[in-house]
Amino acid sequence: MPIQSINPATGALLRSFTPLTNEALLQKIALAESAFARTTEVPLAHRALCMNKLAHLLDRETADLAALITSEMGKPIAQSRAEIAKCAAACRFYAVNAARILAPEPIDAPPLDAIVRWDPLGVILAVMPWNFPFWQVFRFLAPALMAGNVGLLKHASNVPQCALAIEALVRRAGFPRGSFQTLLIEASQVEMVLADQRVAAVTVTGSESAGRAIAAQAGWLIKKSVLELGGSDPFIVMPSASLDTAIAAAVAARCINSGQSCIAAKRFLIADSIYDEFESRFVAAMDAIKVGDPTREDTQIGPLATTAQLDEIEAQVAAAIHAGARLLAGGERMIGTGNYYAPTVLAGLPRTAPVYREEVFGPVAMLFRFTDIDEAIAIANDTPFGLAASVWTANRDEQRRFSAALQCGAVFFNAQVASDPRLPFGGVKRSGYGRELSAAGMREFLNAKTVVTAEPGPTP
């Protein structure tokens, strides 16, 4: 099957690539192995120079790179530019902070003289999704390359041009040849790459099914894996919240990336006393969202990335209505060319409905009413996922209660959930395990090597 780049706004085939043969794939793995040997000899300060150069290239070429993202997966152009800027920020964060994170740690364990060294593992395979085609890759590659690891990227099959552009940027930034290679391969070839003894570990960002398949193999091979999978994040509004701010953030949190974000708010839990006002104002705001051509500066929601994605959203909304949800806005694909789906609001979906347990990866908000904080926590945790939560309350006691009780990897109070190079990012339950970003993310693919040095004793 060719790997195709198709513009989701027009349906036009942009480019088509033949997947690598297994022979060509083995050559790339061999090159990665030799690059790792060379990388470990490159001083950290030089790697930092290359990483800063990479940030500079991203800044300088933002317009072209953003246009590429928008043409391949339909992200509104302003958001594509923001994605490139965020990649540059991550490069700079690790260029500045790697020395601190990688410094050997003295251990207080008298009478032993002990330290922990942070050594790179080697060749790391990254299996990545299309929704943030640069950011998802950069949040792996910036810490990995600064730590002295090398990367092999299996990107989603609908963003091959982004994948090739990232490889070229890393090479131009001055990293040793083979430090970061894109593998234009099919999902079925991932097994062969991971099985190769020269590949040390794997990170997967994507769906549960991809994570499950790859982690099962990694487990069998006893190779380290990090999984960043789906989410069904709650957005909880308590009576003390500022409704103006909360409603604006709720719309933004559901519609970011045309609804196709793992940390998009997907379930909106609203206190009974403010529910009716929230519902009517939220529905009006969702109705007012500008859907259309993603190359236009004022577009807020573009097309969904693939026709399969559009079909799935349509089926999930139909299933929710069939299960008893009330449709308050949208609920249909939009007429004309392109994978457009109207911003949709559903209320009162029974929690017994199968679709309630699924991730809805598009501009579809589900509203729920709760009577007290106990019920809010119970609904928020009633999901197989555990990525993040956004909670709107001015009450410190409530904040303490939510921080402890919510089963997820991050809780943001009075703010939309967002990734940030300085903060650990990742989930619990079926959202996966391990962390990306910050020191924690960098250390996922390092060997915490204990070194104990005793006095040598008398020489013979």
Q: Which of 8, 231, 292, 441 binds ligand NAP (CB under 6 A)?
A: 231
| The binder of ligand NAP chosen from 123, 229, 291, 411 (CB under 6 A) | 229
Interface with ligand NAP, residue 135, by CB under 6 A: no
Least distance (Å) from ligand NAP to the CB of residue 209?
6
Q: Which is nearer to ligand NAP, 115 or 213 (CB)?
A: 213
Integer CA distances (angstroms), 398 to 213, 235, 305, 366, 393, in order:
39, 15, 38, 23, 7
Q: Is 303 in the site for ligand NAP (CB under 6 A)?
A: no
N-term to C-term CA, the chain = 68
C-beta separation of 185 from 193 below 8 A: yes
Contact 153, 183 (CB under 8 A): yes
Binding ligand NAP (rule: CB under 6 A), the pick from 90, 199, 262, 270 is 262
Quick check: is 87 catalytic?
no
> Rounded to an integer, what distance in angstroms lies between the CA atom of residue 227 and that of residue 29?
22
CB 143 within 8 A of CB 422: no
Q: Whole-angstrom Cα distance, residue 173 to residue 54? A: 5
127 is a site residue for ligand NAP (CB under 6 A)? yes
- Which residue type does 337 have? T
- Give the contacts of 202 (CB within 8 A, at least 6 positions apart): 124, 125, 126, 127, 194, 214, 218, 223, 224, 225, 226
Does 128 interact with ligand NAP (rule: CB under 6 A)? yes
- Within 25-84, the residues that bind ligand NAP by CB under 6 A are none
Determine the residue with CB nearest ligand NAP: 206
Residues 357-376 that bind ligand NAP (CB under 6 A): 359, 361
Could you say which of 83, 167, 228, 398 is catalytic? 228
How far apart, in Å, are the Cα atoms of 231 and each of 45, 174, 360, 410, 426?
37, 36, 9, 12, 10
Q: Does 118 bind ligand NAP (CB under 6 A)?
A: no
Candidate list 255, 262, 359, 398, residue with the active-site label: 262
| Pick 5 or 393: Cβ nearer ligand NAP | 5
Amino acid (one-letter) located at 38? R
Q: Is 156 in the site for ligand NAP (CB under 6 A)?
A: yes
**Amino acid letter, 388:** A
Is 297 in the active site?
no
Task: State the residue for tokens 């930092």.
Answer: 48
Q: Which of 8, 122, 129, 259 binds ligand NAP (CB under 6 A)?
A: 129
Interface ranges with ligand NAP (CB under 6 A): 127-131, 136, 154-157, 186-187, 190, 205-207, 209-210, 213-214, 228-231, 262, 359, 361, 387, 427, 431
Positions marked catalytic: 228, 262
